[in-house]
Amino acid sequence: MTIHVLNGPNLGRLGAREPLIYGATTHDELVALCEETGKALGREVVVRQTDDESEMIGWLHEAADAGVPVVLNAAAWTHYSIAVRDAASQLTAPLVELHISNVHRREQFRHHSVLSDVATAVMAGFGVEGYPLAIRWLAERT
């Protein structure tokens, strides 16, 4: 079975963007980490990143139609995109909402998620190591 890891806006700049908050791992290194985790679990892991909200919605629809579990780091869309939330609500397999930083220790506007009520689980503050944790969790349940 396949697991999709979907990353939203600005996450393609990992390693360069605010390393004190998001760490030094690049997005390419994150992709390799996720793929290696999947391989060790006998799962294919597809990692995608976009700054385009409509592309993200299309990927969520694709996962919903295929019954694929998703790790979703919607980044800024987490806090305001009803369109991404509505697409995520259509998923038929488990959804893990993931945040690299602990959003509850950051600016007030980051404390609210429009996705959490449709997510199966929420992870925050584990850095990029949250991705393999989420992938393992999904692999055990699907």
Which of the residues in the chain have pLDDT under 70? none
Cα–Cα–Cα angle for 124, 71, 27, nearest 5°? Answer: 80
Say if CB 98 and CB 72 are below 8 A apart.
yes
Sketch out the chain's domains with CATH numbers.
2-141 (3.40.50.9100)
Residue-wise pLDDT for 81-96, tens only, equals: 999 999 999 999 999 9
Q: What is the pTM of this model?
A: 0.95
Marked catalytic residue, from 4, 27, 99, 131: 99
- Percentage of residues in the chain with pLDDT exceeding 90? 85
Marked catalytic residue, from 4, 22, 27, 131: 22
Report which residue type is found at 104. H
Active site residue 22: yes
Residue 71's pLDDT is 98
Binding residue ranges for substrate: 73, 79, 86, 100-101, 110
Active site residue 80: no
